[in-house]
Amino acid sequence: MIVGYESSTQKFRERTDASVVFVLRRKKCACGKEVTAKQLTQYSACRTCVAAAIRRVA
């Protein structure tokens, strides 16, 4: 290892800590299924609930 350079693992951890966290967090849908917070924010439900809602309307 070259003196003065950080290891790639340390760089990865720093970048990961600095990145957007909401994408990786899990939350529960109304049906009880765990999905990403991003999916709940975009669709306000999990994929199964959204598909069921479309089937009820159609």
Phi and psi, residue 36, nearest 5°: -70, 150
21, 19, 38: which is closest to 29 by C-alpha?
38
> Residue 17 domain-assigned?
no
Local structure of 6: helix, strand or coil: coil
> Residue 36 domain-assigned?
yes
> Residue 46 domain-assigned?
yes
Per-residue pLDDT of 7-34, as tens digits, reads 888 888 887 777 665 556 788 898 999 8
Q: Contact, 46 vs 35, CB < 8 A?
A: yes
> Residue 37 domain-assigned?
yes
Token readout for 9 is 């693992």
Domain coverage including residue 37: 22-57
> Residue 5 domain-assigned?
no
Query: How far, in whole angstroms, is CA 26 from its chain's centroid?
Result: 6
- Domain count for the chain, please give it: 1
Spatial distance between the Cα atoms of 12 and 15, rounded to a whole number of angstroms: 5
> Residue 40 domain-assigned?
yes
| Residue 25, pLDDT score | 75
Question: When comparing pLDDT for 22 and 38, which is higher?
Answer: 38
> Residue 12 domain-assigned?
no
